């Protein structure tokens, strides 16, 4: 059965995610700061709205995936935001990687207005979004989760309710911490192979099937070797994520030296003008050392 749903944020990830919902037959209302990014969806039947407020007034379920926590605040709060204009009983679903405490604040405000909010950040990159096989980490109450689950299943294939509001964001921090140190290892392995006079492509055939295997090794190392640093996920957004993770780790008195080193190196990469590379762009720093 089709349902009128809203989608805000049509970037590298959001455009594909929204497209899957539209292809599934749902009546999709969209908003993005740059209207041109919505052109393909509009041509395929999506309805444009001029503000988040209009999305909230027309849709009982609204998905958002924007860039930074401050963007989340702009979309959700204020007279033109989602919260002040949401329908009674609506569910607001923020799929941005953002601060756990902000997710809790949004959920509390939604509840005051007779609705619900879920935090549901994703992992899988541009390819996962395009192929509808994202991992979706969800925080919020079970009833709202069950209501939105059929829509999550259109966008991903590993959907887990982690706990109350903010839990999805905490889980995503675990994900980003694991990726951060792993990406260092992938870059160093490729750099070592080259320095040792090996063919890195041949090395990959051996190590990606053994104990060293990882998503980053199989998906990002080939891009590094091809000199393909196009973004599936921007360096600037990964720096944002790692910064949130570092702050959150401090809040729970956790020392995270691997995360701290990766954050330092990615900031250096950004300072060199590569903040719009994909995360595999970290390999540029190792190339400079060759």
The catalytic site residues sit at 172
The Cβ-side half-sphere exposure at 232, using a 13 Å CA radius, reads 18
- Alpha-carbon distance of 225 to 218, in angstroms, equals 12
Give the residue among 1, 2, 8 at the shortest CA–CA distance from 29: 8
């Amino acid at each position: 059965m089709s349902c009128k749903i809203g989608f805000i944020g049509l970037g590298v990830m959001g455009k594909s995610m929204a497209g899957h919902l539209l292809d599934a037959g749902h009546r999709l209302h969209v908003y993005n700061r740059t209207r041109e990014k919505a052109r393909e969806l509009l041509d395929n039947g999506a309805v444009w709205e001029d503000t988040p407020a209009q999305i909230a007034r027309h849709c009982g379920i609204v998905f958002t995936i924007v860039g930074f926590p401050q963007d989340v605040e702009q979309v959700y709060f204020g007279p033109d935001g989602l919260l002040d204009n949401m329908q009674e009983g609506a569910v607001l679903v923020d799929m941005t990687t953002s601060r756990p405490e902000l997710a809790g604040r949004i959920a509390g405000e939604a509840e005051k207005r007779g609705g619900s909010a879920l935090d549901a950040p994703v992992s899988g990159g541009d390819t996962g979004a395009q192929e509808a096989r994202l991992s979706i980490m969800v925080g919020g109450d079970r009833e709202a989760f069950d209501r939105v689950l059929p829509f999550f299943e259109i966008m991903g294939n590993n959907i887990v309710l982690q706990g109350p509001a903010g839990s999805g964001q905490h889980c995503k921090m675990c994900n980003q911490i694991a990726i951060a140190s792993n990406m260092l290892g992938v870059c160093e392995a490729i750099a070592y192979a080259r320095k040792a006079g090996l063919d890195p492509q041949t090395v990959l055939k051996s190590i990606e099937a053994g104990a060293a295997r990882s998503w980053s090794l199989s998906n990002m190392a080939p891009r590094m070797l091809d000199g393909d640093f196009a973004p599936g996920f921007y360096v600037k957004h990964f720096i944002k994520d790692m910064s949130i993770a570092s702050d959150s780790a401090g809040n729970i008195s956790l020392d995270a030296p691997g995360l701290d080193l990766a954050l330092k190196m990615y900031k250096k990469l950004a300072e060199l003008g590569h903040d719009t590379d994909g995360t595999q762009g970290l390999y540029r720093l190792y190339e400079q050392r060759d």
